[in-house]
Amino acid sequence: MLKILFIIDHLGQGGAQKMLYYLSTGLVKKMNYQVVVVSLQKRNMYSGWFEKAGIKVIHCGIDIQGSPLETSSFVKTLFFSGWKMFLSFIKLLKLVAEFKPNVISTFLFGADFFGTAAGLFTRTKVVCAIRATNIWKRWWHKLASRLTYPFVSCFTVNSTRTAIYLNKKEGVPLSKIKCIFNGVDLKRPIVDCAAVREMYEVPDSVFWVVAVGRLDEQKGFEYLIQAAESLKNSGISFVLSIFGEGHLRALLENQIKALNLEAYVRLEGYAGDLKPVLLSADMFVLSSLYEGMPNVILEAMSMGLPIVAADVDGVCDIITHEKDGLMVQTKNPEDLYAALYRLCGDKDLRKKMSENGYERVKRNFSIESMCRQYHDLYQLVIADVAGITF
């Protein structure tokens, strides 16, 4: 029986958290793994998912002061939570000594640093999952990566562009990089679509456009809201529902109000299961500035929605432009508007992209395939055979 210690920054809303859930439960149920999940921060919305699946979850309770991208927040976090970081690291070392995992597998930047350091101290193999091109990194992030990356056994990425970035920008040899695409749950629940639209007060006569993500800078919702203003001015009858929470809520609410879009754009907050919404909506839009492989696109395509997506990282691994969806430039409200307007006006195009998208996801992005590839990778890492190319 293989033992894996998973470490992640937090178990709040996010694609990495959902993939970790699919991976850890798949390894336990299908391959008889023994798994423990460590969250560096406090208990959050996804914690219960793991616990209900019978997976042990440990929360370290580290407090992040403000945005991790700001120097002032970095200094505050060290000042107020530095002692808790040290104690969490000691706790992590004790856990590794007691659990004796075959591999420490990390998700997200903080976990990569803590996990690699713990692996170095305990002589445990480490696999780091790099979820996106980390163009957001500040000097302290880059320093931490430079110090720890040489001790990582293997890096997994979820898109071909992220693999190229990791090799060219971060100096990781291609021989240490393994690309494993995200998996998605293809099961479609039985849903009363009319009832769902009624619950969200979206009449059948209007186009229901859905977006999902944290309300932060990465998701580019300010550009999507600008595109919604153009869509309104073009005479299209629509509702744009943005599902998610985050620190930009007040700013986005003010933008919606300033553009007189209250009747068109809604910040719906967090929703646990979005499948009923995706099955009832007319199209999905991704406006992110950067991503790894956007899980929300896979989920939307698996529910049969046509897609408009910014051309970021893993999108090109999922979508062929004009076949499975429409790709647009990042930070470009005009491009977003043009694509949305085109889909609203072309029923046949929506139908074609809906069908093509579902077939592509079913063919290439199963949870079973993702779990199997991680299983094979862990076996290679444990074997530690010289000259292996992952």
Check whether residue 280 and residue 158 sit in a common domain.
Answer: no
CB atoms inside a 10 Å sphere around CB 204: 10
Check whether residue 216 and residue 359 sit in a common domain.
Answer: yes
**Per-residue pLDDT at 355 exceeds 50:** yes
Check whether residue 121 and residue 234 sit in a common domain.
Answer: no
**Per-residue pLDDT at 311 exceeds 60:** yes
Confirm whether 188 is domain-assigned.
no
Q: Which pair of tokens denotes residue 50? A: 């793991």
Check whether residue 154 and residue 215 sit in a common domain.
Answer: no
3-state DSSP assignment of residue 21: helix
pLDDT at 290: 87
pLDDT at 78: 64
- How remote is the C-alpha of 361 from its chain's centroid? 16
* Residues 200-253 pLDDT 10s: 999 999 999 999 999 999 999 999 999 999 999 999 999 999 999 999 999 999
Confirm whether 97 is domain-assigned.
yes
Write down the mean pLDDT value for the chain: 91
3-state DSSP assignment of residue 187: coil
Check whether residue 25 and residue 134 sit in a common domain.
Answer: yes
* Residues 87-114 pLDDT 10s: 889 999 999 999 999 999 999 989 999 9
Check whether residue 159 and residue 214 sit in a common domain.
Answer: no
Share of the chain above pLDDT 90, in %: 80
Residue type, 255: Q
Helices (H), the chain: 15-31, 47-52, 71-99, 109-122, 139-148, 160-168, 193-199, 221-233, 249-258, 275-280, 295-302, 315-318, 333-344, 347-364, 367-383
Q: How far apart are CA 386 and CA 74, in angstroms?
A: 39
* Residues 65-80 pLDDT 10s: 555 556 556 566 666 6
Confirm whether 388 is domain-assigned.
no
* Residues 8-37 pLDDT 10s: 999 987 889 999 999 999 999 999 999 999
Confirm whether 306 is domain-assigned.
yes
What CATH number is attached to the domain comprising 52?
3.40.50.2000
Confirm whether 41 is domain-assigned.
yes
Please name the residues in contact with 315: beta carbons below 8 A apart, sequence gap of 6 or more.
286, 291, 294, 297, 309, 327
User: What is the strand order of the sheet 125-130 is part of?
Assistant: 56-59, 34-39, 3-8, 103-107, 125-130, 154-157, 177-179
Could you tell me the sign of the dihedral formed by the alpha carbons of 231, 232, 237, 238, in that order? positive
pLDDT at 74: 58
**Per-residue pLDDT at 350 exceeds 90:** yes
Confirm whether 269 is domain-assigned.
yes
Check whether residue 231 and residue 140 sit in a common domain.
Answer: no
Count of domains observed in the chain:
2
Q: Which pair of tokens denotes residue 279? A: 């099955």
Mean pLDDT of 186-195: 94
pLDDT at 75: 60
Check whether residue 238 and residue 273 sit in a common domain.
Answer: yes
Q: How far apart are CA 316 and CA 314, in angstroms?
A: 5
**Per-residue pLDDT at 386 exceeds 50:** no
Q: Which pair of tokens denotes residue 172? A: 């990781």
Check whether residue 176 and residue 115 sit in a common domain.
Answer: yes
Confirm whether 389 is domain-assigned.
no
**Per-residue pLDDT at 351 exceeds 70:** yes
Mean pLDDT of 43-56: 94
Confirm whether 340 is domain-assigned.
yes
CB 156 within 8 A of CB 130: yes
pLDDT at 385: 55
**Per-residue pLDDT at 258 exceeds 60:** yes
* Residues 319-348 pLDDT 10s: 999 999 999 999 999 999 999 999 999 999
Check whether residue 312 and residue 370 sit in a common domain.
Answer: no
Q: DSSP secondary structure string, 150-169?
A: GG-SEEEESSHHHHHHHHHT
Q: Residue 159's domain spans which residues?
A: 3-183+366-383
Check whether residue 162 and residue 263 sit in a common domain.
Answer: no
Mean pLDDT of 300-325: 94
Check whether residue 197 and residue 326 sit in a common domain.
Answer: yes
Mean pLDDT of 118-135: 90
- pTM beyond 0.75: yes
What is the CA angle 255-261-262, rounded to 5?
95
